[in-house]
Amino acid sequence: MRAATITRFGDPSVFETADLPQPRPKAHELLLRIEAAGVNRLDHYIREGGVNPDLTFPHVLGSDAVGLVEDAGDDVAGFAPGDRVIPMPGYPTDPDDVGAEVLATSSSYAIRGLAENGTYAEYMTIPARWTLKAPEGVSSIDLATLPMALITAVRAVKAVGDVKEGNTVLIHAGASGTGSFMVQVAKALGARVAATVRSTAKRDFVESLGADLVVGMEDGALDAVRDWSGGGVDVAVDNLGGPSLARSVDATRPLGLTVLMGNVLGLEATVPVRSVFFPQKRISGTLMGGADDLGWGLEQVRAGTIRPTVDRTYGLNEAAAAHERLAAGNAVGNIVFEVA
């Protein structure tokens, strides 16, 4: 099968199109013919070598895909050849961890494409239990934008953020893969949403997603968010990390919650201790999500409450160009490989 592989860590030029053996489904697994595969910032971090230094090469990146069931191993029920399905972008590899209360805290939890080969390929296998039926009426290109960003957004905003109707919510990088879905999840839950953008060119896009207030990221920009929310937002979701964390905490009201879920601006953060415990604020991490989170998000997509945004599509032989675009930060919404 054709796949976009990396044979070493490095810049986007490390991609090579290769012919790899087609995987065969084991018991309880499906073989999927991938129609489209989504690109996430995590893929960029893995390619650079900053996430899994023990990777074996050649490696196929990618956590997101939509595909058609081609074949199944023994003991698979409920799927037929030709079913359009969405594989979970991460899941426990040990069946004993299936019942974990929070999936991504189980010891065998693995994000697809991080160690095991991922989705930048014509075929993949996956345990059938970690596969969801795709909503009808949505194109495979649109569907491929969803899994990682949507599952993360639903868990961050709805489950961990516990956002309710009437809450005020701050979402960083509202034009990013994750941010664009977090804005929409918060709106779907009935919240009033403020979002940040780095460049004014992305302001219209974030407003079109439903954001009530869009501000820049320059010093003092979050003063406008505090004024708008009447003294601080109920929930801030921070996908930037680094110096953004202290700014997010500062933008929340007393007893407010900051949900931390990304590190675009850095892996280290300094937060004034009293700015947290005097006003009794909370900071909570979140990683990925469960099948119920993705299922809720897909239902919103089917109903039209949440819409995918495709930035640009590429062929598998254009992986370097796709990652260059991601690295340059020019994408609005999600980059997708059109595979079949």
Ligand X SMILES: NC(=O)c1ccc[n+]([C@@H]2O[C@H](COP(=O)([O-])OP(=O)(O)OC[C@H]3O[C@@H](n4cnc5c(N)ncnc54)[C@H](OP(=O)(O)O)[C@@H]3O)[C@@H](O)[C@H]2O)c1
CB of 245 to ligand X, least distance (A): 12
Q: Between 95 and 285, name the residue whose CB sits nearer to ligand X.
A: 285
Q: Between 105 and 107, name the residue whose CB sits nearer to ligand X.
A: 105
Q: Between 25 and 262, name the residue whose CB sits nearer to ligand X.
A: 262
Residue 264 within binding range of ligand X, rule CB under 6 A? yes
* Cβ(26)–Cβ(65) below 8 Å: no
Residue 263 within binding range of ligand X, rule CB under 6 A? yes
Residue 283 within binding range of ligand X, rule CB under 6 A? no
Q: What three-state secondary structure class fits 337?
A: strand
CA dist 147 to 85, 277, 334, Å? 11, 36, 11
CB of 103 to ligand X, least distance (A): 11
Site string for ligand X, 11-50 (x = CB under 6 A): -----------------------------xxx--------
CB of 221 to ligand X, least distance (A): 11
Q: Between 69 and 331, name the residue whose CB sits nearer to ligand X.
A: 331
Restricted to residues 97-136, the positions that interact with ligand X (CB under 6 A) are none
Of the residues 167, 178, 184, 258, which one makes contact with ligand X according to CB under 6 A: 178
Residue 175 within binding range of ligand X, rule CB under 6 A? yes
Q: What three-state secondary structure class fits 49?
A: coil
What pairing do the DSSP bridges indicate for beta strands 2-6 and 29-38?
unpaired
Peptide bond into 308 cis (omega under 30): no
Cα-based angle 35, 335, 17 (whole degrees, multiple of 5): 60
Candidates 319, 3, 340; CA nearest to 140 is 340
CB of 40 to ligand X, least distance (A): 5
Q: What three-state secondary structure class fits 271?
A: coil
Of the residues 100, 287, 291, 320, which one makes contact with ligand X according to CB under 6 A: 287
CB of 198 to ligand X, least distance (A): 3
* Cβ(237)–Cβ(262) below 8 Å: no
Q: How many residues of this chain bind ligand X (CB under 6 A)?
A: 29
Residue 51 within binding range of ligand X, rule CB under 6 A? no
Site string for ligand X, 194-223 (x = CB under 6 A): ---xxx--x--------------x------
Of the residues 36, 60, 173, 215, which one makes contact with ligand X according to CB under 6 A: 173
CB of 300 to ligand X, least distance (A): 18
* Cβ(173)–Cβ(239) below 8 Å: yes
| CA within 13 Å, CB half, 235 | 26
CA separation for the pair 42, 52 (Å, rounded) = 11
**Encoding tokens for residue 305?**
């409450």
